[in-house]
Amino acid sequence: MKTRNLWGTIFYYYIAISLTYILFYIGISILDQLWNGKEIDDIDGNDIQEGMKKMKFPTPKQISKEISKNVGKPIEKGISKASKETKKGIDKATKETKKGIDKATKETAKGFKKISGPIMDIFKKIGCIFNKIGNTTCWKFYFLALLGHILYIPFYIAGGISKTVQNVLDSIWKVINKIDKYVAKYTGGYHLVKFPDDIRKKCFKC
């Protein structure tokens, strides 16, 4: 279909250009005769025939060349320009999309890192607590610690009721903790009011 349409177009241009040449030459011949003083009736048909013989009609190759020059090349330039602009737009859109994806990925990674750190610490502590509780050798120390807190409940209550009592208790504990540090320093980790360092590390510290 495309080949047939092309040859039809070429044939159409060939006929149109040929007729234009003929009419143009006839018009020029008539004007020339009138200019030289001849009437239209005096114009010899042989002159027209000879003039037509001298006329150079374009060949199909020349017509095809003109069509390619005036029709094909502008269309080709337009398609090429549109293709380049489209490619530029696609490249720009691709780059912008890639930048957006990279930025979103980095921000997501940063946010996940900020969130995952504390979450992992919480899970580690929970795992550590279960691990300590699962160690049956620590149960007796947990019982002693619980018993100590139960016995200290009256002091908790008194400190909560009276700020003066709480200040006195804080002062007493400061003195006791200072003495306890000195004892632990010179006894290799044994304390007056705390469990030994190895027991605390094994059963209470995570």
Predicted pLDDT at 2:
47
Element of type H or E holding 193 = none
pLDDT tens column, 6-39: 666 776 677 777 777 777 777 776 666 666 655 4
pLDDT at 52 over 60: no
pLDDT at 50 over 90: no
Mean pLDDT of 59-84: 68
Predicted pLDDT at 103:
74
pLDDT-above-90 percentage for the chain: 11
Q: Which of 93, 18, 94 is nearest to 62 (CA)?
A: 18
Predicted pLDDT at 172:
93
pLDDT at 61 over 50: yes
Element of type H or E holding 131 = helix 73-134
Mean pLDDT of 101-120: 72
Burial of 63 (0-12, 13-18, 19+ CB in 10 A): buried
pTM here is: 0.42
Predicted pLDDT at 42:
47
